[in-house]
């Protein structure tokens, strides 16, 4: 009897290890990710209303992904935004379901620590953030990202990941865009990973703002 108890306890210990982005035995798809307290959550639990995002006092600019296609990139962006205090805006259409396993795993246990706003279209972003300057990151720009003086209510806009669909230049270069900037790269190479680019941009902006709210 005692052997069975010991084996059961060991099994329970192993089960307890499978959290923060890894599936526990018996968990359904909506319980794949847990918060910092071990409670299962969904990405949608962390959603913020667009109107509330416009009123937030932030230490870093907002980050916007227009029509992202790769769930792991958005999951990584959630983690980035959690650790920097950045609000993440996602503009539909998305190329994945918000309950996608890769998105949830990439975000680890940061989903309840980040503010995520979902917009049905780009016009909704512009309308609900009227006081924000939109800075588009695009390879077509001539100005470097370091040549801009960033403000906490700016929106750093990134388009879809490279693929068969061309960049939506009506979004990345429309009248709502105040600045177009780029990250320097060797001319023989095409692009950086989306969230790698966003990380570089957010940390440059945060550096200019003296890493307010960080330590």
Instruction: Report residue 100: phi and psi, to 5°.
Output: -60, 135
Nearest Cα neighbor of 66 from 186, 148, 177 is 177
Q: Is 76 annotated as a binding residue?
A: no
Q: Is 183 annotated as a binding residue?
A: yes
Q: Is 188 annotated as a binding residue?
A: no
Distance CA 62, CA 53 (A): 9
Nearest Cα neighbor of 103 from 65, 76, 63, 68 is 76
Q: For residue 143, what is the enclosing H or E element?
A: strand 143-144
- C-beta neighbour count of 11 within 10 angstroms: 11
Binding residues: 159, 183, 191
Binding residues for S-adenosyl-L-methionine: 159, 183, 191
């Amino acid at each position: 009897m005692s052997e069975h108890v010991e084996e059961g306890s060991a099994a329970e210990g192993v089960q307890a290890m499978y959290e923060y982005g890894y599936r526990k035995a018996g968990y359904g798809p909506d319980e794949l990710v847990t918060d910092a307290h071990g409670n299962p959550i969904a990405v949608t639990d962390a959603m913020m209303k667009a109107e509330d995002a416009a009123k937030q006092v932030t230490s870093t600019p907002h980050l916007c992904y227009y029509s992202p296609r790769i769930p792991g990139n958005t999951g990584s962006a959630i983690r980035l935004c959690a650790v920097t205090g950045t609000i993440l805006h996602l503009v539909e259409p998305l190329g994945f379901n918000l309950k996608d396993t890769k998105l949830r795993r990439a975000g680890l246990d940061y989903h309840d620590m980040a503010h995520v706003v979902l917009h049905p279209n780009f016009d909704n972003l512009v309308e609900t953030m009227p006081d924000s300057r939109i800075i588009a990151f695009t390879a077509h720009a001539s100005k470097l990202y370091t040549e801009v003086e960033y403000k906490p209510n700016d929106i750093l806009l990134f388009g879809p990941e490279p693929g068969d669909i061309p960049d939506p230049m009506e979004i990345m270069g429309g009248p709502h865009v105040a600045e177009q900037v780029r990250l320097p790269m060797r001319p023989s190479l095409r692009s950086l990973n989306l969230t790698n680019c966003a990380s570089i941009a957010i940390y440059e902006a945060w550096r200019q703002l003296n890493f307010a709210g960080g330590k």
